[in-house]
Protein backbone atom coordinates (compact mmCIF):
# COMPACT_ATOMS: atom_id res chain seq x y z
CA UNK A 1 0.00 0.00 0.00
CA UNK A 2 0.92 3.68 -0.33
CA UNK A 3 0.83 5.01 3.22
CA UNK A 4 1.51 8.28 5.02
CA UNK A 5 2.76 8.58 8.58
CA UNK A 6 3.11 11.85 10.50
CA UNK A 7 5.46 12.28 13.46
CA UNK A 8 8.07 10.04 11.81
CA UNK A 9 11.01 11.63 13.63
CA UNK A 10 9.42 10.94 17.01
CA UNK A 11 9.53 7.94 19.28
CA UNK A 12 6.55 5.86 18.13
CA UNK A 13 6.78 7.15 14.53
CA UNK A 14 10.33 5.79 14.17
CA UNK A 15 9.20 2.31 15.22
CA UNK A 16 6.07 2.44 13.04
CA UNK A 17 8.00 3.49 9.91
CA UNK A 18 10.48 0.66 10.45
CA UNK A 19 7.61 -1.83 10.70
CA UNK A 20 5.72 -0.48 7.65
CA UNK A 21 8.86 -0.48 5.48
CA UNK A 22 9.60 -4.06 6.61
CA UNK A 23 6.03 -5.03 5.69
CA UNK A 24 6.71 -3.77 2.15
CA UNK A 25 4.60 -0.59 2.10
CA UNK A 26 5.47 2.55 0.15
CA UNK A 27 5.91 4.97 3.06
CA UNK A 28 5.91 8.77 3.06
CA UNK A 29 6.69 10.38 6.42
CA UNK A 30 5.97 13.91 7.57
CA UNK A 31 7.70 15.68 10.46
CA UNK A 32 9.08 19.15 11.05
CA UNK A 33 12.30 17.71 12.51
CA UNK A 34 14.86 15.47 10.82
CA UNK A 35 14.82 11.81 11.82
CA UNK A 36 17.38 11.03 14.50
CA UNK A 37 17.75 7.41 13.45
CA UNK A 38 18.48 5.98 10.04
CA UNK A 39 15.65 3.84 8.77
CA UNK A 40 16.12 3.29 5.02
CA UNK A 41 13.57 2.83 2.28
CA UNK A 42 10.95 5.57 2.74
CA UNK A 43 10.30 9.16 1.66
CA UNK A 44 10.95 11.70 4.40
CA UNK A 45 9.25 15.11 4.02
CA UNK A 46 9.82 18.16 6.24
CA UNK A 47 6.47 19.82 6.99
CA UNK A 48 5.05 21.82 9.89
CA UNK A 49 1.59 20.28 10.16
CA UNK A 50 0.17 23.69 11.16
CA UNK A 51 1.03 24.98 7.67
CA UNK A 52 -2.18 24.12 5.76
CA UNK A 53 -0.75 24.65 2.27
CA UNK A 54 2.36 22.55 2.98
CA UNK A 55 0.22 19.74 4.44
CA UNK A 56 -2.10 19.76 1.44
CA UNK A 57 0.87 19.61 -0.97
CA UNK A 58 2.60 16.79 0.89
CA UNK A 59 -0.57 14.69 1.17
CA UNK A 60 -1.54 15.25 -2.47
CA UNK A 61 1.97 14.14 -3.53
CA UNK A 62 1.86 11.03 -1.35
CA UNK A 63 -1.69 9.96 -2.41
CA UNK A 64 -1.92 7.62 0.60
CA UNK A 65 -4.43 4.81 0.95
CA UNK A 66 -3.95 4.81 4.73
CA UNK A 67 -2.73 7.61 7.04
CA UNK A 68 -1.32 7.16 10.53
CA UNK A 69 -1.36 10.53 12.28
CA UNK A 70 1.10 10.61 15.17
CA UNK A 71 2.63 14.10 14.96
CA UNK A 72 1.57 16.01 18.05
CA UNK A 73 2.46 18.30 20.87
CA UNK A 74 2.77 15.29 23.18
CA UNK A 75 3.55 16.77 26.62
CA UNK A 76 0.92 17.45 29.33
CA UNK A 77 3.15 20.06 31.01
CA UNK A 78 3.81 21.95 27.76
CA UNK A 79 0.07 21.90 26.99
CA UNK A 80 -0.66 23.67 30.28
CA UNK A 81 2.01 26.32 29.61
CA UNK A 82 1.33 26.75 25.88
CA UNK A 83 -2.31 25.87 25.18
CA UNK A 84 -2.33 27.59 21.79
CA UNK A 85 0.58 25.48 20.54
CA UNK A 86 -1.16 22.35 21.80
CA UNK A 87 -4.56 23.15 20.31
CA UNK A 88 -3.15 24.30 16.96
CA UNK A 89 -0.96 21.20 16.64
CA UNK A 90 -3.28 18.56 18.05
CA UNK A 91 -6.72 19.81 16.94
CA UNK A 92 -6.56 22.23 14.01
CA UNK A 93 -3.71 20.50 12.16
CA UNK A 94 -5.44 17.12 12.60
CA UNK A 95 -8.55 18.42 10.83
CA UNK A 96 -6.53 19.97 7.98
CA UNK A 97 -4.53 16.76 7.55
CA UNK A 98 -7.62 14.52 7.59
CA UNK A 99 -9.45 16.65 5.04
CA UNK A 100 -6.37 16.63 2.80
CA UNK A 101 -6.13 12.84 3.19
CA UNK A 102 -9.77 12.35 2.21
CA UNK A 103 -9.30 14.70 -0.74
CA UNK A 104 -6.31 12.61 -1.88
CA UNK A 105 -8.44 9.44 -1.73
CA UNK A 106 -7.32 7.89 1.57
CA UNK A 107 -9.50 5.00 2.69
CA UNK A 108 -8.67 5.02 6.40
CA UNK A 109 -7.19 7.55 8.83
CA UNK A 110 -5.68 6.20 12.06
CA UNK A 111 -5.29 8.79 14.80
CA UNK A 112 -3.19 8.37 17.94
CA UNK A 113 -5.24 9.73 20.83
CA UNK A 114 -4.46 9.24 24.53
CA UNK A 115 -6.05 6.70 26.88
CA UNK A 116 -3.82 8.04 29.65
CA UNK A 117 -5.05 11.64 29.44
CA UNK A 118 -8.68 11.43 28.29
CA UNK A 119 -10.36 10.18 31.48
CA UNK A 120 -8.84 12.46 34.12
CA UNK A 121 -9.52 10.71 37.43
CA UNK A 122 -12.02 8.06 36.26
CA UNK A 123 -14.72 6.53 38.49
CA UNK A 124 -13.53 3.01 37.58
CA UNK A 125 -10.03 1.62 37.06
CA UNK A 126 -9.21 0.14 34.65
CA UNK A 127 -11.07 2.70 32.53
CA UNK A 128 -13.00 1.25 29.62
CA UNK A 129 -13.57 2.63 26.13
CA UNK A 130 -17.07 3.67 27.24
CA UNK A 131 -15.99 5.31 30.53
CA UNK A 132 -17.04 9.00 30.37
CA UNK A 133 -14.17 11.23 29.30
CA UNK A 134 -13.12 14.03 31.67
CA UNK A 135 -9.61 15.21 30.75
CA UNK A 136 -7.67 17.32 33.24
CA UNK A 137 -5.14 18.82 30.88
CA UNK A 138 -5.21 20.86 27.69
CA UNK A 139 -3.39 17.93 26.05
CA UNK A 140 -6.10 15.45 27.14
CA UNK A 141 -8.86 17.82 26.03
CA UNK A 142 -7.13 18.32 22.65
CA UNK A 143 -6.96 14.58 22.05
CA UNK A 144 -10.64 14.10 22.97
CA UNK A 145 -11.63 17.04 20.79
CA UNK A 146 -9.48 15.81 17.89
CA UNK A 147 -11.20 12.40 18.03
CA UNK A 148 -14.53 14.20 17.69
CA UNK A 149 -13.37 16.57 14.92
CA UNK A 150 -12.01 13.62 12.97
CA UNK A 151 -15.33 11.77 13.26
CA UNK A 152 -16.94 14.84 11.66
CA UNK A 153 -14.42 14.76 8.81
CA UNK A 154 -15.27 11.06 8.43
CA UNK A 155 -18.99 11.85 8.18
CA UNK A 156 -18.28 14.68 5.77
CA UNK A 157 -15.99 12.75 3.43
CA UNK A 158 -16.72 9.03 3.90
CA UNK A 159 -13.10 8.32 4.95
CA UNK A 160 -12.93 5.70 7.73
CA UNK A 161 -11.68 7.08 11.04
CA UNK A 162 -9.96 4.80 13.55
CA UNK A 163 -7.56 5.33 16.40
CA UNK A 164 -5.52 4.16 19.33
CA UNK A 165 -5.98 5.41 22.88
CA UNK A 166 -2.67 4.35 24.41
CA UNK A 167 -1.49 4.45 27.99
CA UNK A 168 2.13 5.44 28.71
CA UNK A 169 4.21 4.10 25.84
CA UNK A 170 7.86 3.30 26.57
CA UNK A 171 10.80 1.68 24.82
CA UNK A 172 13.97 2.39 22.83
CA UNK A 173 14.28 5.78 21.02
CA UNK A 174 11.95 7.65 23.38
CA UNK A 175 13.22 11.21 23.90
CA UNK A 176 14.91 11.40 27.33
CA UNK A 177 15.23 15.20 27.18
CA UNK A 178 11.56 16.18 27.17
CA UNK A 179 9.04 16.53 29.99
CA UNK A 180 7.08 13.40 29.04
CA UNK A 181 8.27 9.81 29.01
CA UNK A 182 9.39 9.04 32.54
CA UNK A 183 10.94 5.68 31.58
CA UNK A 184 13.28 7.30 29.02
CA UNK A 185 14.09 10.21 31.34
CA UNK A 186 14.90 7.97 34.33
CA UNK A 187 16.82 5.44 32.22
CA UNK A 188 19.09 8.07 30.66
CA UNK A 189 19.68 9.88 33.94
CA UNK A 190 20.33 6.66 35.88
CA UNK A 191 22.83 5.41 33.30
CA UNK A 192 24.66 8.75 33.60
CA UNK A 193 24.42 8.76 37.41
CA UNK A 194 22.38 11.98 37.35
CA UNK A 195 19.56 12.90 39.81
CA UNK A 196 16.03 11.70 38.99
CA UNK A 197 12.99 13.73 40.04
CA UNK A 198 9.64 12.26 41.05
CA UNK A 199 6.86 14.85 40.83
CA UNK A 200 4.21 14.34 43.54
CA UNK A 201 4.11 11.40 45.95
CA UNK A 202 5.37 8.77 43.52
CA UNK A 203 2.19 6.80 44.23
CA UNK A 204 0.41 8.06 41.11
CA UNK A 205 -0.06 5.23 38.62
CA UNK A 206 0.02 4.80 34.84
CA UNK A 207 -0.57 1.94 32.42
CA UNK A 208 2.84 1.31 30.78
CA UNK A 209 2.75 -0.37 27.37
CA UNK A 210 5.80 -1.37 25.34
CA UNK A 211 6.26 0.34 21.97
CA UNK A 212 6.33 -2.88 19.88
CA UNK A 213 2.87 -3.75 21.22
CA UNK A 214 1.66 -0.26 20.26
CA UNK A 215 3.03 -0.61 16.72
CA UNK A 216 1.18 -3.92 16.37
CA UNK A 217 -2.02 -2.16 17.50
CA UNK A 218 -1.38 0.62 14.93
CA UNK A 219 -1.15 -1.97 12.15
CA UNK A 220 -4.32 -3.72 13.30
CA UNK A 221 -6.26 -0.44 13.64
CA UNK A 222 -5.61 0.12 9.93
CA UNK A 223 -6.57 -3.36 8.74
CA UNK A 224 -9.47 -4.37 11.03
CA UNK A 225 -12.76 -4.69 9.12
CA UNK A 226 -14.54 -2.13 11.31
CA UNK A 227 -12.84 1.24 11.96
CA UNK A 228 -12.75 1.89 15.71
CA UNK A 229 -11.02 3.71 18.55
CA UNK A 230 -9.59 1.31 21.15
CA UNK A 231 -7.69 1.64 24.41
CA UNK A 232 -4.17 0.24 24.19
CA UNK A 233 -2.48 -0.75 27.43
CA UNK A 234 -1.94 -3.67 29.78
CA UNK A 235 -4.78 -3.17 32.28
CA UNK A 236 -2.15 -2.86 35.04
CA UNK A 237 -1.43 0.14 37.23
CA UNK A 238 2.23 0.80 37.98
CA UNK A 239 3.32 3.65 40.25
CA UNK A 240 6.10 6.08 39.40
CA UNK A 241 7.95 4.82 42.47
CA UNK A 242 7.78 1.23 41.15
CA UNK A 243 9.14 2.40 37.78
CA UNK A 244 11.96 4.20 39.59
CA UNK A 245 12.79 1.08 41.65
CA UNK A 246 12.62 -1.29 38.64
CA UNK A 247 14.90 0.90 36.55
CA UNK A 248 17.27 1.52 39.47
CA UNK A 249 17.70 -2.27 39.84
CA UNK A 250 18.16 -2.70 36.09
CA UNK A 251 20.78 0.07 35.83
CA UNK A 252 22.49 -0.36 39.22
CA UNK A 253 21.49 3.18 40.30
CA UNK A 254 21.86 3.85 44.01
CA UNK A 255 20.82 7.48 44.55
CA UNK A 256 17.42 8.27 46.10
CA UNK A 257 14.79 10.02 43.97
CA UNK A 258 14.55 13.82 44.26
CA UNK A 259 11.05 14.82 45.36
CA UNK A 260 9.21 17.74 43.73
CA UNK A 261 5.63 19.08 43.82
CA UNK A 262 3.10 17.55 41.41
CA UNK A 263 2.85 19.15 37.95
CA UNK A 264 -0.27 20.89 36.65
CA UNK A 265 -2.46 18.62 34.52
CA UNK A 266 -1.01 15.34 35.84
CA UNK A 267 -3.60 12.75 36.89
CA UNK A 268 -3.52 10.58 40.05
CA UNK A 269 -4.23 7.07 38.68
CA UNK A 270 -4.97 5.27 35.44
CA UNK A 271 -5.05 1.81 33.89
CA UNK A 272 -6.86 0.79 30.72
CA UNK A 273 -9.22 -2.08 30.00
CA UNK A 274 -8.38 -3.27 26.50
CA UNK A 275 -11.28 -5.64 25.87
CA UNK A 276 -12.45 -3.63 22.84
CA UNK A 277 -9.00 -3.95 21.21
CA UNK A 278 -9.07 -7.67 22.00
CA UNK A 279 -12.52 -8.11 20.44
CA UNK A 280 -12.09 -5.89 17.37
CA UNK A 281 -8.37 -6.15 16.64
CA UNK A 282 -7.52 -9.49 18.35
CA UNK A 283 -4.85 -7.40 20.04
CA UNK A 284 -3.39 -7.59 23.51
CA UNK A 285 -0.10 -6.49 25.06
CA UNK A 286 2.50 -9.26 24.92
CA UNK A 287 5.59 -7.68 26.51
CA UNK A 288 5.78 -7.76 30.32
CA UNK A 289 6.90 -4.67 32.22
CA UNK A 290 10.09 -6.40 33.43
CA UNK A 291 10.98 -7.55 29.91
CA UNK A 292 10.13 -4.17 28.35
CA UNK A 293 12.20 -2.27 30.92
CA UNK A 294 15.16 -4.62 30.39
CA UNK A 295 14.95 -4.13 26.60
CA UNK A 296 14.70 -0.35 27.05
CA UNK A 297 17.70 -0.13 29.36
CA UNK A 298 19.74 -2.36 27.03
CA UNK A 299 18.92 -0.12 24.06
CA UNK A 300 19.78 3.11 25.93
CA UNK A 301 23.02 1.53 27.15
CA UNK A 302 23.95 0.48 23.61
CA UNK A 303 23.25 4.01 22.27
CA UNK A 304 25.33 5.57 25.06
CA UNK A 305 28.26 3.30 24.20
CA UNK A 306 27.96 3.77 20.41
Ligand X SMILES: NC(=O)c1ccc[n+]([C@@H]2O[C@H](COP(=O)([O-])OP(=O)(O)OC[C@H]3O[C@@H](n4cnc5c(N)ncnc54)[C@H](O)[C@@H]3O)[C@@H](O)[C@H]2O)c1
Catalytic residues: 139
| Least gap, CB of 202 to ligand X (angstroms) | 19
Residue 114 engages ligand X in binding (rule: CB under 6 A): yes
Q: Taking contact as CB under 6 A, which single stretch among the options 70-78, 128-136, 254-262, 297-305 is the one that binds ligand X?
A: 70-78
Residue 168 engages ligand X in binding (rule: CB under 6 A): yes
Residue 12 engages ligand X in binding (rule: CB under 6 A): yes
Q: Are 17 and 27 contacting, i.e. CB atoms less than 8 angstroms apart?
A: yes
Q: Taking contact as CB under 6 A, which single stretch among the options 3-11, 119-127, 251-259, 281-289 is the one that binds ligand X?
A: 3-11
Q: Taking contact as CB under 6 A, which single stretch among the options 21-29, 31-39, 56-64, 252-260 is the one that binds ligand X?
A: 31-39
Q: Which of 2, 19, 50, 236 binds ligand X (CB under 6 A)?
A: 50
Q: Which is nearer to ligand X, 49 or 219 (CB)?
A: 49
Using CB atoms within 10 Å of the CB of residue 92, give its burial: 0 to 12 exposed, 13 to 18 middle, 19+ buried.
middle
Residue 146 engages ligand X in binding (rule: CB under 6 A): no
Residue 42 engages ligand X in binding (rule: CB under 6 A): no
- Angstrom distance (rounded) from CA 146 to CA 141: 8
- Angstrom distance (rounded) from CA 93 to CA 46: 15
Q: Taking contact as CB under 6 A, which single stretch among the options 67-75, 223-231, 233-241, 251-259 is the one that binds ligand X?
A: 67-75
Q: Which residues of 230-242 are buried (b: 16+ CB within 10 A; e: fewer)?
A: bbbbbbbbbbbee
Residue 72 engages ligand X in binding (rule: CB under 6 A): yes
Which residues have C-beta within 8 Å of that of residue 84, sequence separation ≥ 6?
none
Which residues have C-beta within 8 Å of that of residue 124, sequence separation ≥ 6?
131
Q: Which of 9, 96, 234, 251 binds ligand X (CB under 6 A)?
A: 9
3-class SS string, 258-293: EEECCCCCCCCCCCECCHHHHHHHCCCCCCCHHHHH
Contacts 24+ apart (CB under 8 A), 21-24: 23/219
Binding-residue pattern over the window 181 to 200 for ligand X, x denoting contact by CB under 6 A: x-------------------
Q: Which of 3, 4, 5, 11 binds ligand X (CB under 6 A)?
A: 11
Question: What are the strands, taking DSSP E only, across 95-187?
Answer: 108-112, 160-166, 168-170
Residue 233 engages ligand X in binding (rule: CB under 6 A): no
Q: How far is CA 56 from the centre of its chain?
A: 24
Instruction: Please report, as ranges, the residues that interact with ligand X according to CB under 6 A.
Output: 7, 9-13, 31-33, 47-50, 70-74, 89, 112, 114, 116, 166, 168-169, 175, 181
Amino acid sequence: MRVLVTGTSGFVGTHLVRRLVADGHEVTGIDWQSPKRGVEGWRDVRVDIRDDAAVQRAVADARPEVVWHLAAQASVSVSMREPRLDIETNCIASVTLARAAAEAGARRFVFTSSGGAMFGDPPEIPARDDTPVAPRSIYGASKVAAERYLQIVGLETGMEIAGLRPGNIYGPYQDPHGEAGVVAIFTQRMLRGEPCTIFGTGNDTRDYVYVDDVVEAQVRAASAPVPAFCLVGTGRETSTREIFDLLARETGYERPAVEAPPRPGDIPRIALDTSRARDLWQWQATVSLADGMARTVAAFREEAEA
